[in-house]
Structure 1
Amino acid sequence: MPEVRYLALGDSYTIGTGVGADRSFPARLSERWRSRGLRVELLNVAVNGYTTDDLIRDELSRVAGFGATITSLLIGANDIVVGRDAETYRSRLRAILASLRTDGVEARKLVVVSAPDWSGAPQAARFGDPARVARLVDAFATVAREEAERVGARFFDVVPLSRSNTQRSMFAPDRLHFSADAYAEWADALDDALAEAGLP
């Protein structure tokens, strides 16, 4: 039976804040792969509230020892919260991608996921003007796409799906993060996109 070693890097939207890690999108994605007969070991090292700097400091050290056959990277929402602009985000993201390459992560088996648009969440206004957040989410997604393409990695844009989730009020009980059903939709869409590329 083929083995998939899946490393998930990121922040609250990867660890499943509001619903639990077992209902996060990496967990749901792993379930889909297992249903197809794959053996999957998931290591989700994402941490709620993390920025790109936090990820560089604490998560990248886990990469080399795990030997991932597929890696996802979703980071940037908290960079928006702390006031970073798109070009600052670009420099941090570029450093992360360079480190992953150094640690042996194959570009074609790395998927960079855009930060979702949480600006329509009921509690979003606590973290800045929602209209500004939405604009920055779009700008950060553009950067993530460009940087992923620059190194030959996959890119998955979750922004449109997250906006659809918002329209359907698919939020966790904290009224800030997305619901388990929303994360399941992300996993389904990401799985379809990866399957088209012959992954995992």
Structure 2
Amino acid sequence: MNQLKYIVFCLLLLLACSSTDEKKYIPQNPNQGTIPVVETMLKKSFLALGDSYTIGQSVPEKERWSVLLNDLLASKYQITPHDIIAQTGWTTQELMQGISSRNLSQQYDMVSLLIGVNNQYRGQSLEKYRTEFRELLSISTKFAKNDAQKVMVLSIPDWGVSLAGRNNDRAKISREIDAFNEVAQQECKKVGIAFIDITSISRQNTDDSMFASDGLHFSGKMHQRWAMKVQSTAETILKISN
């Protein structure tokens, strides 16, 4: 009889191990059966706010820096949903209007903000930028479960190094970009939001492959470098998310 019970137990154990269920089982002693262990990817949500550099003007969707960032994080996190509110040509004011028109009620584990190049391009004042950027930081924090530690700001890339920008006063463009970035960094510091410098990356290794087909925006190759720069900050943010 004892031998029969042992055979039955072995058959049941064999069936459990060969099951097509995605659950993994750890064998215990014969009197306790088995305990299911489910391995799941941590699901996180991400909202990216900005302009052409966020939407990835003139590059395939899969080559946007925010999408590439998700790929870099894929071994630890499943980013769902990954929402983007961005449009080529938007200033800070237009981004605020774009956000308002979406009527989003979702809360996110991570929010990024990259905005200001069109304020500079249109010759808008630093004072106007500061006021509107400060409001965008507040909006971003609200989307990030009212936690400033879950928000990150990317600095404005320098379009003056682009193929199209080379026909302009590159030194002047760079000075103005630096001034706008200084305002953004100051405002981030006041509220404890991470500020990530990708401007210096945009100024490095600027061969033709770093630019999109329009000659003005950056290519997926440059977006990849931005994503790699952002990765460590993103991982820190997602670790504290709940």
Using the size of structure 1 for normalisation, the TM-score is 0.90
- Which deviates further from its counterpart, 158-167 or 171-180? 158-167
2:197 maps to which residue? Answer: 157
1:27 maps to which residue? Answer: 67
Partner SS for 2:153: strand
Tell me the amino acid that sits aligned with residue 59 of structure 2.
V
Tell me the amino acid that sits aligned with residue 177 of structure 1.
H
2:36 maps to which residue? Answer: none
Residue pair 2:150, 2:237 contacting (<8 A) in 1 also = no
Q: CA deviation at 1:32?
A: 1.1
Tell me the amino acid that sits aligned with residue 158 of structure 2.
D
1:2 maps to which residue? Answer: 42
Distance 1:125 1:17, change over 3 A: same
Partner SS for 1:122: coil
Give deviations 1:36-82, integer Å, cap 9, x for gaps: 13111211121111110100111255475221100000000000111
1:122 maps to which residue? Answer: 163
1:40 maps to which residue? Answer: 79
Distance 1:152 1:33, change over 3 A: same
Residue pair 2:134, 2:187 contacting (<8 A) in 1 also = yes
Distance 1:145 1:168, change over 3 A: farther
Residue pair 1:170, 1:181 contacting (<8 A) in 2 also = yes
Residues 26-175 of structure 1 aligned to structure 2 (within 5 Å): 26-34=66-74, 36-41=75-80, 42-60=82-100, 62=102, 64-103=104-143, 104-124=145-165, 129-166=169-206, 170-175=210-215
Using the size of structure 2 for normalisation, the TM-score is 0.75
Aligned residues: 197
Q: Give the unaligned 5+ runs of structure 1.
A: none
Residues 184-195 of structure 1 aligned to structure 2 (within 5 Å): 184-195=224-235
Q: CA deviation at 1:192?
A: 2.5
Give the CA RMSD over aligned residues.
2.0
Residue pair 1:12, 1:48 contacting (<8 A) in 2 also = yes
Give deviations 1:125-158, integer Å, cap 9, x for gaps: 57x5322211011111111111111111111011
Residue pair 2:50, 2:115 contacting (<8 A) in 1 also = yes
Give deviations 1:4-46, integer Å, cap 9, x for gaps: 1010000000011011332110000011111x13111211121
- Which deviates further from its counterpart, 56-65 or 41-50? 56-65
Q: Give the unaligned 5+ runs of structure 2.
A: 1-40
In 2, Cα distance between the equivalents of 1:144 and 1:183? 21
Residue pair 1:6, 1:43 contacting (<8 A) in 2 also = yes
Partner SS for 2:213: coil
